[in-house]
Amino acid sequence: MSTTAKIVRFHKTGSAEVLQFDELPITEPKPNEVRLRVKALGLNRADVMYRSGQYLETPILPSKSGYEASGIIEAVGQGVDPTWIGKTVSTVPGTFSLNEYGVYGEVAVVPFHSIAQYPSNLSYEEGASIWMQYLTAYGALIWLGQVSKGDFVVITAASSSVGVAAIQMVKAQGATSIAVTRTVAKKARLIELGADHVIVTDDEDLADSVNEITGGKGARVSFDPIGGKTLELLAAAAAHKGIIFEYGALASEPTPYPLFTALAKSLTVRGYVVVELAQDDKELKKAEQYIFDHLASGAFKPLIDKTFRFAEIVEAHRYMESNNHVGKIVVIV
């Protein structure tokens, strides 16, 4: 067995081209860590923002990257039951710092508490396409938002992997999803994926469309990774005492607070990232079980838009930045 492995790192922040393959020694896991032989990587918007120096964490260079991988445990550190060796698992985003760990590589060492098993009928590619999207949606929609039958839920950036997961989750809860996309190109696909309604913002007014769909009531919950001026539109589309979850900043512009609308409707605007859920051990376990059960039943199905080879990691990042995907981008190692 080789004593080295190819690990993707970047030595400066910037565009996708800063990613490079470094041949590094394979290290043994420390206490309460495990080492995976990585089979697939799931790309996330957080990876792009971190590489660009625009994430919640500032990279310590040279830096590894990547939150989400599937693979086989090939070594365990002190304190970890050795019967885990040989088991297929995936990594849970938000449970480790990218400045300490990163899964872009032929192998990855991660904390033991950062792994989870997934249903055996899923492929490695699907196994790398679970936790970021479903945990992000669960934390806002179920843990905090308590979405249930009769609710209307607006989902912006609905063609993203998190957006698709949210559509599936809203349906599982018996609520009504209102998917939002910028262009008509993705409308038919979103309906095919289970969205109850689709609003194309290039052609339709968001607030007017939501009010029409909801019979003038507005949406009780909105789930938004964009921010910027979109927040004002979501406030206009919200129900009285509605809640808007902001879980990203894709707009890359200031986000004005819709004060008068919030006062008039008694709105809640709530910042949320998956780390919040991941740091609550009890709630995280409940979330993992909920997701596992829905995956096993077929109610949830990871949607993979496109796969790339490990050598094409730069191209995979470029593709994510093109925003042409519907679902998850996966790299096969």
- Mapped onto helix, strand or coil, the DSSP state of residue 21 is strand
pLDDT at 56: 85
Domains and CATH numbers, the chain: 4-130+303-332 (3.90.180.10), 133-275 (3.90.180.10)
Calculate the alpha carbon distances from 218 to 208, 214, 234 in Å: 9, 6, 10
Distance CA 223, CA 155 (A): 5
pLDDT at site 144: 98
Full pLDDT tens readout for the chain, 333 residues: 789 999 999 999 999 999 999 999 999 999 999 999 999 999 999 999 999 998 989 999 999 999 999 999 999 999 999 999 999 999 999 999 999 999 999 999 999 999 999 999 999 999 999 999 999 999 999 999 999 999 999 999 999 999 999 999 999 999 999 999 998 999 999 999 999 999 999 999 999 999 999 999 999 999 999 999 999 999 999 999 999 999 998 898 999 999 999 999 999 999 999 999 999 999 999 999 999 999 999 999 999 999 999 999 999 999 999 988 888 999 999
Q: Which structure tokens are listed for 213?
A: 């769909």
Whose tokens are 């995280």? That residue is: 284
Residue with the two structure tokens 């790192």: 9
Provide the H-helix boundaries in the chain.
45-52, 124-127, 131-138, 161-172, 187-192, 206-213, 230-237, 259-265, 274-278, 281-297, 313-322
Using alpha carbons only, what angle is made at residue 92 by residues 88 and 93, rounded to the nearest 5 degrees? Answer: 145
262/243 Cα distance (integer angstroms):
10
DSSP state of 142: I
Q: What residue type is 196 in one-letter code?
A: D
Q: What is the pLDDT of residue 323?
A: 87
Q: Which among 33, 31, 119, 106 is positioned nearest to 66, based on CA atoms?
A: 106
What long-range pairs does 311-315 form, CB within 8 A, spacing at least 24?
311/21, 313/8, 313/19, 313/104, 314/16, 314/17, 314/19, 315/16
Residue in this structure with the two tokens 């304190």, named with its chain if needed: 79
Mode of pairing for the β-strands spanning 238-246 and 219-224: parallel
Dist CA 214 CA 223 (whole Å): 16
Q: What is the pTM of this model?
A: 0.93
Helix-strand-coil split of the chain, %, nearest 5: 35, 30, 40
CA distance 48 to 246: 18
Q: How far apart are CA 230 and CA 268, in angstroms?
A: 15
C-alpha gyration radius of the chain? 20
**235: exposed, middle or buried (Cβ count in 10 Å: 0-12, 13-18, 19+):** buried
